[in-house]
Structure 1
Amino acid sequence: MLTRTALEALTQRPPAFLRSAWPWRSLAYLLAGAVPGLVVFAVVANGLLFRLPLVVIAVVLAVVVLGRPLVARFERLRLRLVDSAPLPETTDRVRREMVLTLVTVFGLWWIDLVVVGFTTGGPVVLILSPVVQPDPTGLVAGVAALAGVLLLPVAAYTITAWAGARGAMVRAMLAPPELNEVVRSRARLVDAFEAERRRIERDLHDGAQQRLVALSMTLGLARLDLADDDPAAKLVERAHDQAKQALAELRELIRGVHPQVLTDRGLPAAVRDLAGRSPLPVNVHIDLTPYARERERPAPGRSASGGPRSEGRPSGGPTSGESASDGSAFGEPSLEKPVRLPVAVEATAYYVVAEALANVAKHARATKVTINGHLEKDRLVVEIHDDGCGGADPARGTGLTGLADRLAVVGGRLSLSSPVGGPTLMRVEIPCA
């Protein structure tokens, strides 16, 4: 799973989220925060009890000056439970850690306990109703226990949300503001790189490719003027074949640098072009009309027009449920026009899909692939699903880390579900603003 933070985990589907370790990690994160807080609270409480204000002042100074490295290190280690992204080094690290130490030890830890107590206390009390409040009939206690069980998912979401917010707060205290400029500069570099790719593609298409086309035609005409028994005929024919092969390789190279179909017709057509060249059957459904998810979907087994849904072709032209050339859902004209996404968004989504299809063909041993894409408010969401063997692991060099890095440049996010034995579902979200 490439979800890095507890807040990102909340965007998963409820069954996947509740089965994951994120609720338990969030609970452990919140409970662990009470360790330094309770120690300092006990010392301060004793000082106040015996009316020793100097002790209280000494404890505060000791926490800020002497305890700062320990508390800060503890917070960095604890943060990994809800945010696995590494923290960068800062020039003003001591000042930031002092502020974090004061806020954590004297403020946030008891709020964490209050959130955990109120969130889990209610369901636990209801579940223990048959023991705490014995009922002769058992009906009321049974209903209360059932209600407690049903409230546990709500508690999991609440705890994870607060833990994710706490983790984001700690990261903001420790991470330098210069990182924002680093992210922006990296995005500018990617834009410049993409513009250079487009320039190279245009030069190859308008220059070298046209010359090879002319050379191939000239050699073909020369071959027609030579007799079959002429020794030069075989050499000209061989040169003609090599020119055609070089032209085919150059066209494939141009398509890899920056596909012309992506520039001319947009992402849906470019993805369909990828699907048509894939060795596996690929079903494509990409709807870039605004608010596509809010439109009413047809009933299962029925098409949008009310007739039976036909089985689509595995690849190539529009398939069942696939966008037509105008981007409308189910191949029918839409009342809303499809939108063209920003260049960086289209290019990123295209290369992510291309890399995903290459990984599936190389590693997954799948028999079919399904690609779904739609706009969700201000985000492009693309899901690639295959019925392969699963077990995709970024650590094994399958290109998943590179995809996550490419998405991070444009503020995107990649989630992966790939249990051993399959199936595999990759979900990509890219902001379009």
Structure 2
Amino acid sequence: MPVRNALEALTMRPTQFLCSAWPWRSLAYLIGGALLGFAAILAVVGLLLAGVVLSVVVIGIAGYLATVLSGVAVGRLERWRMRLVDESVLPDPHRAVPRPGLRAWVTFRLREQATWRELGYTMLSGLMLCWMDAVVVTAAIYVPLSLLAGPFYIHDSPLSVTVPLALAGIPVAVIAAYPVTAWAGARAAMARAILAPRVHDEHVRLVEVTRSRARLVDAFEVERRRIERDLHDGAQQRLVALSMQLGLARLEMPAGSAAAEPVANAHELAKQALTELRELIRGVHPKVLTDRGLEAAVAEVAGTAPLPVDVDIGLPGRLPSMVEVTAYFVVVEALTNVAKHSEARRAGVTASVTGNRLTLEVRDDGRGGADPARGSGLVGLADRVAAVDGTVALSSPPGGPTLVRVEIPVPS
């Protein structure tokens, strides 16, 4: 079995362990822990002092808030550093902030238990852990180096004493790899216990179900792309060649011949089949989405819709593939519902990215009264969005208008 953390590395054979990267990764983790702890305690003390000094002019409250929220930054950095000694990624316990803005972010974070656990870890790191890291690192580096450098600074002893002393530094350095790795593994386990999200068993099962569903959606999307590629490069090209050959045959055929009409009919049927195949390919997975992104793909869908559709999409660039695919099919399904059920005269699609979330809205001026229970495709739409941890909100009062709002997290 592959070794996934520093504590498991201690069970390896000595030669295998000493030749691996685990001792060096553990040393780097402890050095970073010492530096992070010292920096964190200095920052907290500075923020508290700033809060005390500025409290007379109310601005000091910001210093106190920054002190509490400093743990969020330390926790995020610690989860990133932990990968040095533990390859099991520690998930971020914080939830997405529902509203944009600094005030909303601060208020939301102060209400989360994870924020206070991270503050407690910051205090523990600054008051105790960083000092222990420094002691272990200093002992692991200073003692072997002082022995190895003995002949250079011990001048009042003969070589028969200093040389064996220097040679003793080699096994001491080898032995030091074990306590360094052991403390790094124990420290990471302690940090994981404090910083890990608090979930119950049923939540763990729910997370696993969600991940399984996401894996199925990924596999399904890969298969859709394969089908689209096979149809585009295979059947479509053959239909194009067939249509061209029939067209040439029509040009070469004498006017009024008995075969002219059947060939013309076959040519028209081939062109219709090619048009239908292109529509099928676009429904399976549109090539424009892969090549040019969500904005161009939505504009193409809007251009082929049976009613006018206003498109207002402002994105900072290309989004992750799964986000683009989900958003695209949300627009397709929503506009299909508009055309079939709403009796609308006009529709609109807007999309933007705020923070780490894509917000997509599809609205129409139809009769309203959309009900997912009546099989309008909204249930399937919601399932597709839920597979990427997104949310769907529907507003459709009788008489209209109807608004479908979708929010999809955008991985950083």
Counterpart residue type for residue 326 of structure 2: T
Q: Distance in 2 between matches of 1:238 and 1:417?
A: 48
Report the Cα offset of residue 234 of structure 1: 1.1
Matched, 1:212 2:262: no
Q: Which residue of 2 aligns with 1:386?
A: 364
Q: Deviations over 1:383-408 (max 9, x none)?
A: 11111111111111111111111110
Residue aligning to 2:329:
351
Q: What letter matches 2:217 in structure 1?
A: V
- Aligned-pair identity in percent equals 64
Q: Please name the residue that 1:221 is paired with.
A: 248
Note if 1:239 corresponds to 2:266: yes
SS of residue matched to 2:408:
strand
Rounded Cα–Cα distance in structure 2 between residues aligned with 1:398 and 1:174: 35
Between Structure 1 and Structure 2, how many residues are aligned?
218
1:265-317, Cα deviation, whole Å (9 max, x unpaired): 1000000001001011100000002xxxxxxxxxxxxxxxxxxxxxxxxxxxx
- 1:360 and 2:302 are equivalent in the alignment: no
1:239: how far off?
A: 1.0
3-state secondary structure, aligned to 2:337 = helix
For residues 209 and 369 of structure 2, the distance between their equivalents in structure 1, rounded to whole angstroms, comes to 34
Question: Deviation at 1:173?
Answer: 4.7
1:332-364 deviation per Cα after TM superposition (whole angstroms, max 9, x unaligned): xxxxxxx11111111100001000001011111
Residue number among 398, 408, 411 corresponding to 2:389 in the alignment: 411
SS of residue matched to 2:278: helix
Structure number with the higher helix fraction is: 2
Instruction: Tell me how far 1:176 sits from its aligned partner.
Output: 4.4
Larger Rg: 2
Q: Distance in 2 between matches of 1:245 and 1:226?
A: 21
- State the alpha-carbon separation in 2 of the partners of residues 213 and 397 from structure 1: 37
Alignment partners' CA distance in 2, 1:283 and 1:260? 22
> What TM-score do you get using the length of structure 1 for normalisation?
0.49
Letter in 1 for 2:382: A
Counterpart-to-counterpart distance in 1, 2:257 and 2:282: 38
**What is the CA distance between 1:174 and its match in structure 2?**
7.2
Distance 1:378 1:176, change over 3 A: closer
Aligned match for 2:402, one of 404, 415, 424: 424
Match of 1:187 among 200, 207, 214: 214
Looking at structure 2, the residues matched to 414 and 394 of structure 1 have their Cα atoms a distance apart, in angstroms, of: 12
Supply the AA of the counterpart residue of 1:423.
P
CA-atom RMSD in angstroms: 1.9
Mapping 1:73-92, distance limit 5 Å: none
Q: TM-score, normalised by structure 2?
A: 0.51
AA aligned opposite 2:223: E
The residue that corresponds to 1:398 in the other structure is 376
Q: CA deviation at 1:374?
A: 0.2
Q: Which of the residues 196, 202, 206 maps onto 2:223? A: 196
Paired residue type of 1:209? Q
Gaps of 5+ in 2: 1-106, 113-197
Q: What does residue 283 of structure 2 align with?
A: 256
Aligned partner of 2:307 in structure 1 is 280
Letter in 2 for 1:396: R
Kindly report which structure 2 residues correspond to 1:162-181, keeping only aligned pairs within 5 A, or say none: 173=200, 175-181=202-208
Give the gaps of 5 or more residues in structure 1.
1-156, 163-170, 290-338
How many angstroms does 1:178 deviate by? 2.1
How far apart are 1:215 and its partner, in Å?
0.6
Flag as ranges the 4+ runs of structure 1 deviating above 4 A.
171-174
2:256 is paired with a residue of what secondary structure? coil
Q: Distance in 2 between matches of 1:176 and 1:271?
A: 36
